[in-house]
Amino acid sequence: MKSTKMIFSAIIAICCFCLVAVPQTLAVNDAFDPGKMADMSDFDPSNPVTPSGDTIKIAIVASFSGPAAFVGEIFYAPVLWAAHDINKRGGIMVDGKRKKVQVIRADHMSQVPQAKKITERMVLQEKVDVLWGTNGSHLMKVINQVAKKYKTIAQCTAALSDDLYDHKNFTRYSFMTSFQTDQIGRAAAYYYGQIRKKEKKFYILCQDYLFGHAMANGFKKGLKQYFPEAEIVGEDYHKLFLTDFAPYLTKIKASGAEVVYTGDWIPDAANLAKQARQMGMMLPFAHTFLDEPNFLHEVGIEGTKGLIQIGQYATTNPNFKNAGQIMVYRAWNNLWKNKWTKPFNTYTFKHGPGGGNIGSYMMQTYWLLSVIERAGSTDPEKIIKTWEGDTYQLLNGKVMTMRAVDHKAIQDLHAIEYVPPEEQKVNFNIEPYRWYDGCSGGGPVSRIPADKIMPLLDPELKR
């Protein structure tokens, strides 16, 4: 009887252990392990080492010429970094062969016809395994259409429109690892309503096209849900590449707004904030893309103080949580400082995997490569099977989950408050204890939990 009781107790104990411990060990399917990272001292994005022979080909479909040419370079360096790292580790075992990763630049020139042409060329001529992109949802839509037509995997890393994955546009060959417009808007609202609880009067100023309206709608929806007592004192949509923001700023000033919510990207975002400061308006902006370092320096410490950024690659304070993370950051930052040449030695590239968009693009690429490795194949069907429902832990500890039904990433976002350099230590907890000297940067960080900002799911999407 006694032994029966003991066996029974043991079974209960094992069950309890399984319920608690096993899910934790299975919490992520894979994680970026800094300990496995190769010696990157020979990495130089200006002089890439291009593997030959049978390779895993990734085409970065982006603007490499025209007014937005710089964006292509911002994508290129972190993707190339991930590829270089994996190649130095010996490549990835796929379909019974160890293959290295080859990164190809595919210039869509920010134009739809060119995007279609270059993407098809990448698939048919270069025979790439993955289409990686891009700046502009309208261009990502083209990439997704090509991916669907030729059954090639596409990774949406930088286009943010939810519509790309609605029932009309969804393709099972494309995966959205970036954050999304609706999510960003609701995250900002959640931050102001549930965390910050200070300002109540908001003015929405976004660009007058699908993206800007989607960013605004997400914010309005979020305010209804998380901050019903908030007041939207004004709402405007301006044309793209606007020269003069002064009339909007005068309206905003008269509205009594306490915060300006904007989905603008550079150069509009920079011009908006710059002209506001020139006009003596020190209102805080809640934004996503006002983090371009050259602009931040131009506006200076006071002008950038109080900006609130909804970021996709951040973590709660302190930013650097372990030695591995610091090691990866230092590896990048030392090369930036000592080795790289223009444009990769400019402010924009300074912090790389430390945080921000470049870190995000790098980690999204590592996730892709991890999926290919675990799929053991470049066969799109095997990649889809592995990626759907997959979870991956990034360098900074953040976990991304790929929702199987619509291929959108579920993830925490973070609200980052910009503070003067001397107050940034709370966030930038390694030497020199500040992101930049000449402008405000990340200070207090608040986590917006993923379950509060689940990606928008189109109810008409039947899979």
Partner 1 sequence: MDPVTAMYVAQGIHGLAYGMILFLVASGLTLIFGMMGILNLAHASFFMLSAYISYTVLQVTGNFWLALLIAPVVSAVIGILMERFLLRRVHASGHIGELILTVGVALVILESVKVFWGTENLPLPVPEFLQGLVSVAGLEYPIYRLFIIALALVLLAILTVILYKTRLGMVVRAAVSDADMVNALGVNVPLVFMAVFGIGTWMAGIAGVAIAPILTVFPGLADQMGMDAFMVVVTGGFGSLGGAFLVSTIFGLLSSYGVQFVSALAPVLMFIFMAIVLVIKPMGLFGERE
What residue ranges bind partner 1 (CB under 8 A)?
65-70, 73, 208, 236-239, 241, 243-244, 246-248, 250-251, 253-254, 266-267, 270-271, 274-275, 278-280, 292, 294-295, 297-298, 342-343, 346, 348
Is the alpha carbon torsion for 253, 256, 259, 264 positive or negative?
negative
- Shortest Cβ 235–partner 1 spacing (Å): 9
Q: Write out the two tokens for 189.
A: 């609202």
- Shortest Cβ 299–partner 1 spacing (Å): 9
Residue 399 gets the label, from left (phi > 0), alpha (psi -120 to 50) or beta, of: beta
- Shortest Cβ 74–partner 1 spacing (Å): 9
Nearest residue to 236 (alpha-carbon basis) of 247, 248, 219:
248
Nearer of residues 273 and 368 to partner 1, judged by Cβ: 273
Whole-angstrom Cα distance, residue 278 to residue 255? 19
Q: In what order do the strands lie in the sheet with 399-402?
A: 30-31, 391-393, 399-402, 409-410
- Shortest Cβ 46–partner 1 spacing (Å): 12
Nearer of residues 53 and 280 to partner 1, judged by Cβ: 280
Whole-angstrom Cα distance, residue 35 to residue 434? 25
Nearer of residues 47 and 250 to partner 1, judged by Cβ: 250
Nearer of residues 33 and 437 to partner 1, judged by Cβ: 437
Task: Look up residue 408 and give its DSSP letter.
Answer: B
Nearer of residues 247 and 397 to partner 1, judged by Cβ: 247
Q: Write out the two tokens for 359.
A: 């870190």
- Shortest Cβ 344–partner 1 spacing (Å): 10
Whole-angstrom Cα distance, residue 346 to residue 308? 24
Helices (H), 38-151: 69-88, 112-124, 137-150
Q: Write out the two tokens for 396.
A: 């900074």
Nearer of residues 207 and 319 to partner 1, judged by Cβ: 207
- b/e 9-18 (16+ beta carbons within 10 angstroms → b): eeeeeeeeee
- Shortest Cβ 139–partner 1 spacing (Å): 16
Instruction: List all residues 6 or more positions away from 245 whose beta carbon is below 8 Å from its beta carbon.
Output: 238, 271, 272, 275, 276
- Shortest Cβ 209–partner 1 spacing (Å): 11
Burial of 48 (0-12, 13-18, 19+ CB in 10 A): middle
- Shortest Cβ 219–partner 1 spacing (Å): 18
Nearer of residues 36 and 337 to partner 1, judged by Cβ: 337
Nearer of residues 27 and 246 to partner 1, judged by Cβ: 246
